[in-house]
Amino acid sequence: MDFSTIDGYLSAKALLKSAIAENRIAHAQLFVAQAPRSSLALALWYANELLDHHPSFNRMMHPDVHFVFPVNSSPLVKKDPLCGDFMGLFREAVLDNPYVSLNQWYAAASIEDKEALIKVDVVKEMLKQLALKPVLNSYKIIIIWGAERMNTEAANKMLKMLEEPPQNTLFLLLTHREEQLLPTIVSRCQRLLLSPEPLEVITQALTKKGVDLSRANDLALRAEGSIGQALLLLSDDSERSRYESLFTEWVRTAFKVKNDASEVATLLVWAEKVAALTKEGQRQFLAFAQGQIRSAMLIQYGAGSLVLKTEFADNFSLQKFAPFVHEENILELNSLLENAIYHLSRNANTKILFADMALQMTKLIHQPSRQPHSS
């Protein structure tokens, strides 16, 4: 895989190239991309530039580059998993698709039903690598993908390393949930926020892979500013369709409850459907729902041009839903989903969690706006 050919990230690439040319490379850098966008592909491109396109890195075999990523036990690694145990699978997944998402990685590693984490033993494994001198380069590069998945002990150990960095070491922390990182870790990193990809960039990336222009345009519109998401949609539309269907059913039933109390039973059946998803599927659905609430708010406040897709299956329209998302309930709606994500990460009983979430929605979407806005 030639990582110099990575598409997208145009403004970020320009900044990073400038830093390299001027020798202004911070020892710790934080790449922040909102899901479903991923910063891994950019980190691979950046490391490739720093290594002067050394051929061994294109095979992900460079001795001075080390990867840290969330893991858990699997059929292949029963106990005390470390990143090294999964490196072969990880290398295969990334070389096949450098835009791979964390959820795709969990599926490839057979850990999608578990809570994948970066635990302190993984950080200790990294420390052993840092004890060795660079072999082919003047410094070591540590790429920490899914940095928000560090548990408390691992995060504290990482913080100490950033406060007293080993010599000749560059840390690249990659995250799509910056708020879950320790603020002290964020404060010690040079932060780079990655913007959504323009539609034409996604379309061009797809056509380079042989996708016809009409199909590429359609996928780009649905990809939420992410080349990786567009590639995922290209390979399989079923997951997105499932989340659209679940969101539609949730919202419609929540509306019905106000006039028909018997619909509460339908909401509880809905909650069981979501609870039956894998843990990663539940997390993806919650992230999807957050995106739709955000899109509805943009439409409500006159920024509908920023919303890439407004029509779902079963004739569900975000345009019609938007008036029910406003200044009186948007914070509570967002908190409802954020709290569900938090409690899901703490292994809450999912049937109770999603039943409570479903019922709270019925109250929030019927909350009136004091100052109606036109969409």
| Residue found by looking up tokens 């409690």 in the block | 343
Looking at residue 89, its amino acid is L
Side chain identity, residue 210: G
pLDDT at 371: 62
The per-residue pLDDT for range 254-300, each reduced to its tens digit, is 999 989 999 999 999 999 999 998 887 888 899 889 989 999 999 99
Select from 124, 197, 136 the least CA-distant residue to 161. Answer: 124
| Per-residue model confidence (pLDDT) at position 375 | 36
Q: Please name the amino acid found at residue 170.
A: L
The number of C-alpha atoms within 13 Å of 218 and in the hemisphere containing its C-beta is: 9
The residues near 356 (Cβ < 8 Å, ≥ 6 apart) are: none
- What contacts 24+ positions apart, CB below 8 Å, involve 10-15? 10/201, 11/195, 12/42, 12/192, 12/194, 12/195, 13/42, 13/45, 15/192
Neighbours of 242 (CB within 10 A): 16
CATH topology of domain 237-364: Zinc Finger, Delta Prime; domain 3 (1.20.272)
Contact 269, 289 (CB under 8 A): no
Q: How far apart are CA 141 and CA 160, in angstroms?
A: 17
Strand positions, DSSP E, 54-114: 65-68
Q: What H or E segment, with its residue span, contains residue 251?
A: helix 238-257
Q: What is the pLDDT of residues 304-338, one digit of tens each?
A: 887 867 888 788 999 999 999 999 999 999 999 99
Q: Both tokens of residue 289? A: 């729902």
- pLDDT exceeds cutoff 90 at 342: no
Average of pLDDT values for 54-60? 94
Residue 336, Cα to own-chain centre: how many angstroms? 19
Helices (H) then strands (E): counts for the chain: 17, 5
Instruction: Report if pTM > 0.85.
Output: no
In contact, 86 and 93? CB cutoff 8 Å:
no
Topology of the domain covering 3-195: Rossmann fold (3.40.50)
Categorize the per-residue pLDDT at 91 as very low, low, confident or very high, splitting at 50, 70 and 90.
very high
Q: For the segment 205-232, what is each residue's pLDDT rounded down to a tens digit?
A: 999 999 999 889 988 988 889 999 899 8
What mean pLDDT do residues 24-32 have?
Answer: 96
Number of Cβ within a 10 Å radius of residue 46: 28
Query: Which residues neighbour 131 within 8 Å (Cβ) at sequence distance 6 or greater?
Result: none
Q: Find the range with the poorest average confidence among 7-16, 101-110, 154-163.
A: 101-110
Here the tokens at position 127 are 């420390």
User: Residue 236 — pLDDT band, cuts 50, 70, 90?
Assistant: low
Among 11, 18, 174, residue whose Cα is nearest residue 98: 174
Give the pLDDT band of residue 373 (cuts 50, 70, 90).
very low
Pick the more confident residue, 83 or 369. Answer: 83
Which residue do the tokens 């406060």 mark? 163
Mean pLDDT score, 186-198:
95
What gap in Å lies between CA 257 and CA 139, rounded to an integer? 61
Helix (H) or strand (E) holding 171, with range, is strand 169-175
Contact 300, 326 (CB under 8 A): yes
Question: 307 with 274: CB under 8 angstroms?
Answer: no
- The answer to whether the CB of 326 falls within 8 A of the CB of 333 is no
